[in-house]
Structure 1
Amino acid sequence: MQIGIMLPSRETAMTGRHDAAGLVRFARRAEEAGLDSVWTGESVLARTRVEPLSLLSAVAGATSRVCLGTAALIGPLRHHLALASQAATVDQLSGGRLILGLGAGAPMPESRGEFEALGVPFAGRTSRLDDLVDQCRQWWRGGDALPAVQPGGPPLWLAGGDSPRVIARVASHFDGWLPYMPDAGAYARAWKEISSQTEENGRMVTPGLYATLVIADRANDVLDAYARAYYRQPLSVMNQLQAYHGGSAASCLDWLGHYVEAGARHLILRIGSVDADEQLDLIGERLLPDLRSMSRRIP
């Protein structure tokens, strides 16, 4: 089992404080704390933050061990050749540590506005994402684009839920599945179906989980403030859509354990607080050792 953490890049959309160099330092601290991967998201205009592949290029030079991931990069906004070249560059700089988590863009006015600003059609974006995946792999496997270090290119994960269409796309096109489902039981059912379909296709898929948590005494208050600041929605709404949990380290461990039992094997933790540095310390000291112990018990 792998355990990663989101770099606090989206918090700039909440606080207005942009600090790309600080994110690189945070990534180095995460590696020193023993985490396996660091991740960053993308939003050009809706919730403006640091461009993900540029950031991960800098993180590649500041770290030596952690995997570097996007959670998620909006694939249809990119040209396949440009993305193949950019991703291969990060993969070379990192010695083959890149994972590309990809999304098609949420069906929201803010996302539509980003597509319009970049002159990209919003309609048909899901099928274009699947085409992008195929084309990037063709470039990495023998085209004229810059070659990646990893054979066949970096792993490509789909950020999506448990709809039949998402399950079929993960099983047929992608190397990993990155949902943020609030119900571990639903996760287990979806993963069982993905496993069945990938076995039929002769493929392997990494089951990930995007989970928001905070270790705090008044955790629900902290998470509610975070959800309202970022999504403009209360926790009572957001925890019906995404995986949220807060409380003691033991409580967070128990909650994550249900997803591990359901099949999750790469946990990506998003800190549900603007005080990311303190939370990183708490995760490293109070949660990570027990997660490691849990992983050793996985059959």
Structure 2
Amino acid sequence: MTADGTRLGVLLPTGRAQWGAGTDPRELVGFATHAERLGYDSLWVNDSLVTPRIEALTMLAAVAPVTTRVTLGTAALLPVLRRPVSAAQSLASIDLLSGGRLVLAVGAGFPGRLGRPMYDLSEVPWRDRFTRLDETVALWRRLWTADGPSSYHGRLLRFDELPPATRPYRPGGPPIWLGGATPAALARTGRHYDGWLPYPPDPADYAAGWSAVRDAAGAAGRDPAALTPALFVTLLVCDDVAAAERTLAEYSQVTYGMPLDVLRTIQVVLAGPAARIVERLRPYLAGGARHLVCRIAALDLASQRDQLERIAELLPLLGTGPGDR
């Protein structure tokens, strides 16, 4: 963490496409402990049913007992993939086993080949997905805070009888952040969630979005300062810019099935020497971002490890201005 409170996290490469041929996925546990030793503030996993990967909550459960300090997070968890009551128990259990280090960024999924098919596999309607997400989060909070049996009655989720649930380590349960940057998502973040984790390619959109989240929080009678402004960013540190662009192009095609120039219209994707990346991140920090969740754009575990060490070196640079170096 820098002097101004900026935190650095890394997404664990749980997808098979990021391991590389012949890799033992159990090495991901060592990857996580190495990240903690390097000084990262947080470790993250993402969630999917349509690409081969280690299941998100299983990965966090494996990492919880071998780490001691880092936040363990989801970026992002798709609650629709799990039954809501049993998911509440799993999440509370991970928070207990980690000593209260769990943070949940959640999302409802996006249209396209990586979004809607997961609803079909979960046998849940795509329609009303945002209402379902908000109600699932409200149900979890009810389960984590109720004294004894309770009930929950939303528009989509209705439970007349809820038994006493597993309580998380932290009173009230882990913080829950929301991804997304539409006007509706910004308003919902401010009203109902504990943080914001988007990936806008334009830092001006980040600043405007964070301002809207804070305004929505204030209008709802909440303290905007209690919310965490985070940023999900795909990174590749490489002194050879041309080589970095080639690697990113391959990563984009393998991971998303789309050209790099298309991906860059959707997400913030940065590559090049460390100083160049830091300068590209500064406008996001000026716009309010204080927790960076970095996804490494590499397609084998050896390259992931190399990048893990190179990205860790960015944190001291982020805490200084151009005239301080």
Aligned counterparts of 1:253 and 1:100: Cα–Cα separation in 2: 26
Once superposed, which parts of structure 1, at least 4 consecutive aligned residues long, lie more than 4 Å away?
13-19
Match of 1:214 among 220, 229, 236: 236
- Gapped regions of structure 1 (runs ≥ 5): none
Larger Rg: 2
Aligned to 1:42, the other structure's residue is in SS state coil
User: Given the alignment, which residue of 26, 29, 54 partners 2:31?
Assistant: 26
Distance 1:174 1:14 in 2: 33
- Give the Cα–Cα distance (whole angstroms) in 2 for the partners of residues 17 and 159 of structure 1: 34
Q: How does 1:30-69 map to 2 (within 5 A)?
A: 30-44=35-49, 46-69=50-73
Paired amino acid for 1:106: F
Query: What RMSD, in angstroms, separates the aligned Cα atoms of the two structures?
Result: 1.8
- Letter of the 2:211 partner, please give it: K
Instruction: Show the counterpart of 2:284.
Output: 259
How far apart, CA to CA, are the structure 1 residues paired with 2:15 and 2:22?
A: 10
**Alpha carbons of 1:26 and 1:13: their partners in 2 closer, same or farther (altered >3 Å)?**
closer
Task: Report if aligned partners of 1:180, 1:210 keep a CA contact under 8 Å in 2.
Answer: yes
Task: Find the aligned partners of 2:100 and 2:318 in 1 and give their Cα distance.
Answer: 25
State whether structure 2 residue 139 is matched by structure 1 residue 135. Answer: yes
Shift of 1:209: 0.3
1:289 aligns with 2:309: no
Within a 5 Å distance, the mapping from 1:139-218 to structure 2 comes to: 139-142=143-146, 144-161=164-181, 163-201=182-220, 202-203=222-223, 204-216=226-238, 217=240, 218=243
Asked if the contact 2:230–2:293 (Cα under 8 Å) also holds between the matched residues in 1, the reply is: yes
* Pick aligned residue for 1:76 from 61, 77, 80: 80
Higher RCO (C-alpha under 8 Å, 6+ residues apart): 2
Q: Secondary structure at the match of 2:115?
A: helix
Q: Measure the CA separation in 1 of the matches of 2:118 and 2:23.
A: 20
SS for the counterpart of 1:149 is coil
* In 2: Cα distance, 1:267 partner to 1:225 partner: 23
- 1:269 aligned partner: 294
Displacement after TM superposition at 1:13 (Å): 6.6
Partner SS for 2:316 = helix
SS state of the match for residue 71, structure 1? strand
**1:81, CA displacement in angstroms?**
1.3
Q: Displacement, 1:256?
A: 1.2
Take 1:17 and 1:80, find their aligned partners in 2: how far apart are those partners?
Answer: 36
State the partner residue of 2:106: 102
Q: Work out which of the residue numbers 219, 223, 229 in structure 1 matches 2:248.
A: 223
Q: Name the counterpart of 1:6.
A: 11
Q: Quote the sequence identity (%).
A: 39
Q: Describe the shift of the 1:293–1:141 C-alpha distance in structure 2 as closer, same or farther (beyond 3 A).
A: farther
The C-alpha deviation readout for 1:136-188, integer Å capped at 9, x for no partner, is 00111125110001110001111112x11011110111111110100001110
TM-score (norm 1): 0.93
Shift of 1:120: 2.1
- SS at 1:212 equivalent: strand
- Is this contact kept in 2: 1:2–1:265, CA < 8 A? yes
**Residues in 2 aligned to 1:19 and 1:160: alpha-carbon distance in whole angstroms:** 34
Q: Secondary structure in 2 aligned to 1:268?
A: strand
What secondary structure does 1:101 align onto?
strand
Query: Post-superposition shift, 1:7?
Result: 0.5
Distance in 2 separating the partners of 1:181 and 1:133: 24
Letter in 1 for 2:279: D
After superposition, give the CA deviation of every residue in 1:252-288 in whole Å (9 maximum; x if it has no partner): 111111110010011001111222111011112x312
Correspondence for 1:280 among 308, 319, 322: 308
Aligned residues: 292
TM-score between the two structures when normalised by the length of structure 2:
0.85
